[in-house]
Amino acid sequence: QQQVKQSPQSLIVQKGGIPIINCAYENTAFDYFPWYQQFPGKGPALLIAIRPDVSEKKEGRFTISFNKSAKQFSLHIMDSQPGDSATYFCAAKGALSGNTGKLIFGQGTTLQVKP
Amino acid sequence: NAGVMQNPRHLVRRRGQEARLRCSPMKGHSHVYWYRQLPEEGLKFMVYLQKENIIDESGMPKERFSAEFPKEGPSILRIQQVVRGDSAAYFCASSNPGEQYFGPGTRLTVT
C-alpha cells in the first residue's frame, strides 16, 4: 500500500523529443509528489513537485500531470536535451499514520537523450 | 551556502568491519533522513532523526544498523559487522522541515 510504481525502467529519445515517465500509487493518504533527478555519482536533486489539489504544474521545460482519481502522475520533459540524460525518480509522502515526512520512491527511470 | 555534506564519499570495508557514515545537514536544518540505494534500484527510507531523537526507524534493519544525531556534530549512520549485502549508496537528506535536500552520498563497498 505504500508502494509507488514507476515506468518505464529506461527510455531513449532524440533531442527535442518529449519523454514521459509515469508513476502510480495506491495510498490515498499521500499528499505530496516530488520528482528527483539524479546524475551518476551524485545525490538526487529536487526537480519539481505537486500536491493533489492541482492537475498540472509547469516549471521551465518540466511538467507534472496529476490524475487524482486514477492515482497516477507523470513527468513530461519538453524539448529534451542531451544534458537531461539522467535517472529520474518519482516519490510520494503524506499524512500516513505517524507521518514523519519520509519519501517513498519509485524504482527510477534512466533517460537517454540522443543528440 | 553549503549544501548537505556527507563523508566519506567512498568507503571500502572488509566483511565483519564497522562502517561509519557521516552527514552534516544544511545550515539551519534540524531534520535528517537516511536512505539506501542498492544498484539499479530506487532509494529506500531507513531512518528519520531530529536533534538527539530518533523519530522513525521503521526502515532500519533490526540488527547491526544504528543511527544518531547528537546535539552537536553530524548525524552518524553506523553499520556493525558489515556483509556484502550492505554494499550500496547511502544518502542523507535534511529539511527544516519541508523539502528534503540530498547530499552526494557515501558509496560503501564491502569486500
In this predicted model, what pLDDT tens digit does every residue of B52-79 receive, in sequence order? 899 999 999 999 999 999 999 999 999 9
Point out the residue among A41, A89, A102 whose CB comes nearest to the CB of B42: A89
Point out the residue among A41, A45, A107 whose CB comes nearest to the CB of B42: A107
pLDDT number for residue A95: 61
From chain B residues 50-109, the ones with a CB under 8 A of any chain A CB are 55-56, 58-59, 91, 93, 95, 97, 99-105
**Contact yes or no for A100 and B41 at CB 8 A:** no
Interface check B44 vs A, CB under 8 A: yes
Q: Per-residue DSSP letters for B55-92? A: EE-TTS-SSSEEEE--SSS-EEEEE-S--GGG-EEEEE
Beta strands A10-14 and A109-114, pairing class: parallel
| pLDDT band at residue A75 under the 50/70/90 scheme | very high
Please report residues of B whose CB lies closer than 8 A to that of A6: 42
What residue ranges of chain B have pLDDT lower than 50?
none
pLDDT number for residue A97: 45
C-alpha of B11 from chain center: 13
**Contact yes or no for A103 and B97 at CB 8 A:** no
pLDDT number for residue A15: 97
Cβ partners under 8 Å of residue B29, min gap 6? B94, B95, B96, B101
Interface test with A, best of B45, B60, B92 (most A CBs within 10 A): B45
How many degrees, rounded to 5, is the angle at CA A7 between CA A112 and CA A71?
A: 135
Question: How many residues comprise chain B?
Answer: 111
Please report residues of B whose CB lies closer than 8 A to that of A104: 45
For residues A73 and A13, what is the distance between their CA atoms, to the nearest angstrom?
Answer: 20
C-alpha of A33 from chain center: 8
Point out the residue among B4, B43, B99 whose CB comes nearest to the CB of A46: B99
Residue A70, number of CB atoms within 10 A of its CB: 8
pLDDT number for residue A94: 80
Please report residues of A whose CB lies closer than 8 A to that of B49: none
In this predicted model, what pLDDT tens digit does every residue of A101-112 receive, in sequence order? 889 999 999 999
| Single-letter code of the amino acid located at B78 | R
Residue of B nearest to A40 (CA): B104
pLDDT number for residue B1: 53
Q: Is the pLDDT of residue A98 over 70?
A: no
